């Protein structure tokens, strides 16, 4: 029998390879590249808040709370009306840039006069109030966003309309997730979708009516986007399937057939997408590391048209959420941007936001900062009004003692999960249970023992749930999911949902 | 930071632990992935693959057993991920040249599994005997799929020197194993 040297080495065990790897050199990698990978893997990074690099043409200075109304009116093409875009200089470029155009654009660059700062009372436990923030000047010069038409070649195989009933309550669009729980409504039925790595499952009530296996089926359709290593999905109405492997782009796929029914855009890596008003808003990335550039696009499946809303940003555009008619997105480390129906672009500047959510007109952000030695970490939750006013802010510190972190508190279960607000209070958790924290008075109330830890019937000791717990709010109830366990919390009433 | 410290962080505070892991080993993973994918895939794909390595590590963390260092574990993961990424382009990794064939004993009293393990142990023992830089060249070339140019740069040798040494080392191994089998 003959074997190749390579095939022999293929079967080498780690201990056999250990001496070799011990001597292996490493390549120099830039801070920015490390931060980019950290952000993609953990949803956070150690990168310190920098002066605006993203949309640097938008903000000449920003490090504290300010709201900038940038473009009162975007050129010709209303973002949400679906009217044809007024396309400047028909672009043959794949990626038009956001350059100043000589169109008539009103720039309202008035910063808010001040940010009223909430002064919390003496906090329970160890939460501390932020110090008042300074008011920074707005941009010295305006910005013109040019909505440009993208190549239509990226559409193919149209197979019916995409419905647009992404339910804002609980879904809020999507993060690039391969795990977690979401709810969607399409007017006829309510679907709970949850996934544990893969596959994902679709529930109607407690009954599984679909899965990414394709073995069962449903009449519901998801829109998938893939960034090459990770999949995400958002509801689009129809039947669905998972796109994986090294595919990149935005696809609509059929769960029953496993076929990609429609390629919407496979030109770039897509990290986040949300469907609203019959259109797909999505964030994409081209290039890598120092050369990476990010775009925000809008695709009209009916007209098979893609438009660039923002392009050539040099920091990520991620976590798109459509709340009502306002499109939100996160841009690390600047903060949260949102575009209102009158087409003005706003920034809630909050340093190094790891996660955010919007509830009842309040924008909540969650930030984490750490010292270089990783012995201390500060977690901060802030609440802002839509005009940028800081309503409340609380921080607390985790610290290392004998190499073990103390006072650990979690607000999101990793990159698949978001900051969650239930009945006006922040949901937090630790290894012993779940809590509601009042950002305004500092109170903290335990609502649930941890249902995800303990010893299973087969003797397996479950732990580490905080790695991947997922939370969402739907119809006024709080849902928690970890693996196959789903818990519904409704004002003190707890129900464990067991999928049939 | 040492492996035990990192593992403790990964357990107690996964995000922080992962961020530190990435900071510590991004260079290693990039080096391995780029060595395999450079010239075949663009930089975006290389980054995706590097990210994939850390995601795979994160996803498999619960089953991680420290039988080797994190460096070795991530190195193997990086190598396998990069090879998977270019699996559809086998013509680029033409490692199957004649020099690489080894005649090994296939029959005997052992089960195939034991024979395989013994073979691996023997091969690694022989590779170790080759010493530096020949052992490094073999593993870089035939395990990590690095080009001669890349190896030459890393080991401060000329390309022709790398090729010559690889050729001689493989011949030594072949003589050793074929000799034992006759």
Nearest chain B residue to A370 by CA distance is B16
Contact B154 A2 (CB under 8 A): no
Q: Write down the pLDDT at residue A61.
A: 31
Domain's final residue, options B55, B73, B91: B91
* The pLDDT of residue B11 is above 50: yes
Q: Write down the pLDDT at residue A384.
A: 94
Q: Which residue has the higher pLDDT, A45 or A18?
A: A18
Q: Give yes or no for a contact between A169 and A185, defined as CB atoms under 8 angstroms apart.
A: no
Report the distance separating Cα A188 and Cα A169, nearest Å: 16
The rounded percent of chain B whose pLDDT value lies above 90 is 1
Q: Are residues B61 and B113 in the same domain?
A: no
Q: Are residues B83 and B124 in the same domain?
A: no
Q: What are phi and psi of A17, to 5 degrees?
A: -85, -15
Among A116-120, A121-125, A151-155, the least confident range: A116-120
Q: Are residues B60 and B76 in the same domain?
A: yes
* The pLDDT of residue B17 is above 80: yes
Other CB atoms closer than 10 Å to residue A53's CB: what's the count? Answer: 14
Instruction: Give the dihedral sign, CA B2/B4/B7/B8.
Output: negative
Q: Write down the pLDDT at residue A48.
A: 41
Report the distance separating Cα A290 and Cα A314, nearest Å: 8
How many CB pairs below 8 A link A and B? 192
Identity of the residue in B42, B59, B71 whose CB atom sits nearest the CB atom of A21: B71
Q: Are residues B106 and B131 in the same domain?
A: yes
pLDDT in tens, B61-73: 766 676 778 888 8
Q: Write down the pLDDT at residue A436.
A: 96
Contact A16 B121 (CB under 8 A): yes
Confidence label for A132 from pLDDT (cuts 50, 70 and 90): very low
* The pLDDT of residue A116 is above 80: no
Mean pLDDT of all residues in A20-33? 73
Confidence label for B37 from pLDDT (cuts 50, 70 and 90): confident
Contact B58 A377 (CB under 8 A): no
Most confident of A190-194, A201-205, A229-233, A482-486: A482-486
Contact A46 B23 (CB under 8 A): yes
Confidence label for A91 from pLDDT (cuts 50, 70 and 90): very low
Residue B53 distance to chain A (closest CA, Å): 9
Domain's final residue, options B58, B91, B124: B91
Q: Are residues B32 and B86 in the same domain?
A: yes
Q: The domain that contains B67 carries what CATH number?
A: 1.10.1740.10
Q: Are residues B117 and B86 in the same domain?
A: no
Contact B15 A1 (CB under 8 A): no
Nearest to A262 by CA among A155, A109, A349, A345: A155
The boundaries of the domain holding residue B60 are 3-91
Contact A5 B62 (CB under 8 A): no
The rounded percent of chain B whose pLDDT value lies above 70 is 71
Identity of the residue in A12, A269, A289 whose CB atom sits nearest the CB atom of B43: A289
Contact A24 B75 (CB under 8 A): yes
pLDDT in tens, A151-203: 544 444 333 333 222 222 233 333 333 346 766 655 555 666 665 444 456 66
Domain's final residue, options B39, B62, B91: B91
Q: Residues of A with CB below 8 A from B54's CB?
A: 37, 41
Identity of the residue in B13, B32, B49 whose CB atom sits nearest the CB atom of A408: B13
pLDDT in tens, A375-414: 777 889 999 998 888 999 999 888 877 767 788 888 887 6
* Angle in degrees, CA A7, A13, A15, rounded to 5: 140
Q: Are residues B80 and B35 in the same domain?
A: yes
Contact A197 B59 (CB under 8 A): yes
Q: Are residues B177 and B136 in the same domain?
A: yes
Confidence label for A105 from pLDDT (cuts 50, 70 and 90): very low
Nearest to A10 by CA among B89, B54, B152, B116: B116
Q: Are residues B105 and B160 in the same domain?
A: yes
Among A242-246, A461-465, B104-108, the least confident range: A242-246
Q: Write down the pLDDT at residue A36.
A: 79
Nearest chain B residue to A2 by CA distance is B103
pLDDT in tens, A240-286: 323 332 345 676 655 445 455 666 676 677 777 777 777 778 888 77
Whether the CB of A402 is below 8 Å from some CB of chain B: the reply is no
Residue A328 distance to chain B (closest CA, Å): 24
Confidence label for A453 from pLDDT (cuts 50, 70 and 90): low
Q: Are residues B87 and B102 in the same domain?
A: no
Please report the DSSP string for B44-82 in residue order. Answer: HHHHHHHHHHHHHHHHTGGG---SS-HHHHHHHHHHHHH
Q: Which residue has the higher pLDDT, A135 or B84?
A: B84
Nearest chain A residue to B75 by CA distance is A21
Total domains in the fold of chain B? 2
Q: Write down the pLDDT at residue A234.
A: 53
Identity of the residue in A9, A230, A404 whose CB atom sits nearest the CB atom of B12: A404
Report the distance separating Cα A452 and Cα A487, nearest Å: 10
ipTM of this model? Answer: 0.73
Confidence label for A317 from pLDDT (cuts 50, 70 and 90): confident
Q: Give yes or no for a contact between A269 and A227, defined as CB atoms under 8 angstroms apart.
A: yes
Identity of the residue in B18, B72, B138 whose CB atom sits nearest the CB atom of A41: B18
Task: Give strand pairing partners of A346.
Answer: A338
Q: The domain that contains B171 carries what CATH number?
A: 1.10.10.10
Q: Write down the pLDDT at residue A118.
A: 22
Residue B27 region by backbone torsions, left for phi larger than 0, else alpha for psi between -120 and 50, else beta: alpha
Q: Are residues B87 and B8 in the same domain?
A: yes
* The pLDDT of residue A16 is above 50: yes
Q: Are residues B166 and B132 in the same domain?
A: yes
Instruction: Look up residue B48 and give its two tokens.
Output: 């995706």
pLDDT in tens, A278-306: 777 888 877 666 667 888 888 887 777 88
3-state helix, strand, coil in chain A (%, to 5): 5, 40, 55
Q: Write down the pLDDT at residue A428.
A: 93
Residue B94's alpha-carbon distances to B79, B84, B89, B168, in angstroms, are 16, 15, 10, 18
Confidence label for A478 from pLDDT (cuts 50, 70 and 90): very high
Whether the CB of A403 is below 8 Å from some CB of chain B: the reply is yes
Q: Write down the pLDDT at residue B71.
A: 86
Identity of the residue in B48, B55, B68 whose CB atom sits nearest the CB atom of A18: B68
* The pLDDT of residue A326 is above 80: yes
Q: Write down the pLDDT at residue A415.
A: 56
pTM above 0.80, yes or no: no
Mean pLDDT of all residues in B147-164? 77
């Amino acid at each position: 029998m003959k074997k190749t040297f390579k095939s022999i080495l293929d079967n080498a065990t780690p201990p056999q390879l250990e001496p070799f790897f011990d001597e292996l050199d490493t390549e120099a990698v830039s801070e920015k590249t490390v931060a980019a990978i950290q952000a993609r893997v953990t949803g956070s990074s150690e990168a310190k808040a920098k002066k605006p690099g993203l949309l640097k043409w938008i903000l000449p200075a920003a490090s504290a709370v300010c709201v900038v109304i940038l473009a009162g009116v975007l050129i010709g093409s209303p973002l949400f009306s679906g009217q044809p875009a007024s396309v400047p200089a028909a672009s043959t470029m794949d990626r038009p840039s956001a350059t100043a155009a000589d169109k008539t654009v009103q720039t309202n660059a008035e910063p808010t006069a001040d940010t009223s700062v909430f002064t919390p009372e003496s906090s329970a436990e160890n939460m501390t109030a932020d110090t008042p923030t300074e008011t920074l000047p707005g941009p010295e010069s305006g910005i013109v966003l040019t909505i440009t038409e993208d190549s239509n070649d990226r559409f193919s195989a149209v197979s019916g309309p995409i419905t647009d009933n992404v339910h804002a309550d609980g879904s809020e669009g999507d993060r690039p997730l391969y795990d977690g729980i979401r709810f969607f409504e399409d007017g006829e039925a309510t679907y709970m979708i949850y996934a544990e790595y893969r596959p994902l499952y679709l529930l109607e009530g407690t009954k599984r009516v679909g899965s990414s296996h394709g073995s069962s089926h449903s009449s519901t359709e998801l829109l998938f986007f893939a960034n090459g290593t990770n999949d995400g999905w958002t509801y689009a109405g129809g039947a669905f399937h998972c796109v994986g492997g090294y595919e990149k782009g935005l696809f609509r796929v059929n769960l029953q057939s496993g076929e990609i029914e429609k390629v919407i855009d496979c030109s770039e890596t897509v990290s986040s997408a949300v469907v609203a008003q019959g259109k797909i808003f999505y964030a994409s990335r081209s290039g890598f590391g120092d050369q990476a550039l990010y775009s925000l696009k809008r695709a009209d499946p009916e007209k098979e048209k893609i438009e660039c809303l923002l392009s050539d940003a040099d920091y990520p555009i991620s976590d798109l959420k459509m709340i009502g008619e306002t499109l939100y997105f996160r841009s690390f480390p600047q903060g949260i941007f949102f575009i209102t129906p009158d087409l003005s672009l706003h920034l809630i500047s909050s340093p190094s936001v790891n996660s955010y959510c919007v509830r009842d007109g309040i924008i909540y952000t969650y930030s984490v900062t750490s010292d270089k030695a990783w012995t201390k970490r500060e977690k901060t939750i802030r609440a802002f009004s839509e005009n940028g006013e800081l309503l409340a802010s609380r921080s607390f510190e985790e610290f290392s003692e004998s190499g073990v972190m103390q006072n650990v508190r979690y607000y999101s279960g990793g990159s698949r999960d978001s900051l969650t607000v239930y009945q006006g209070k922040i949901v937090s958790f630790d290894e012993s249970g779940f809590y509601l924290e009042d950002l305004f008075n500092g109170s903290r109330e335990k609502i649930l023992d941890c249902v995800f830890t303990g010893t299973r019937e087969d003797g397996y000791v479950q732990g580490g749930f905080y790695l991947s717990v997922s939370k969402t709010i739907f119809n006024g109830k709080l849902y928690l999911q970890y693996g196959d366990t789903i818990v519904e919390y409704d004002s003190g009433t707890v129900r464990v949902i067991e999928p049939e | 930071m040492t492996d035990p410290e990192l593992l403790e962080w990964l357990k107690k505070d996964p995000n922080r632990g992962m961020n530190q892991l990435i900071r510590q080993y991004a260079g290693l993973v990039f080096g391995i992935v780029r060595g395999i994918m450079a010239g075949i895939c663009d930089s975006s794909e290389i980054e995706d693959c590097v990210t994939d390595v850390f995601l795979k590590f994160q996803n498999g963390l619960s089953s991680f057993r420290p039988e080797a260092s994190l460096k070795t574990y991530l190195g193997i993961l990086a190598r396998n991920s990069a090879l998977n990424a270019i699996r559809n382009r086998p013509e680029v990794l033409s490692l199957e040249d004649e020099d690489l064939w080894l005649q090994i004993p296939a029959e005997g009293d052992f089960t195939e599994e034991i024979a395989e393990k013994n073979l691996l142990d023997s091969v690694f023992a022989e590779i170790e005997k080759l010493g530096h830089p020949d052992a490094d060249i073999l593993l870089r070339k035939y395990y990590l799929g690095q080009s001669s140019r890349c190896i030459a740069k890393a080991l401060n040798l000329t390309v022709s020197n790398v090729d010559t040494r690889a050729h001689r080392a493989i011949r030594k191994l072949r003589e050793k194993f074929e000799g034992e089998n006759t």
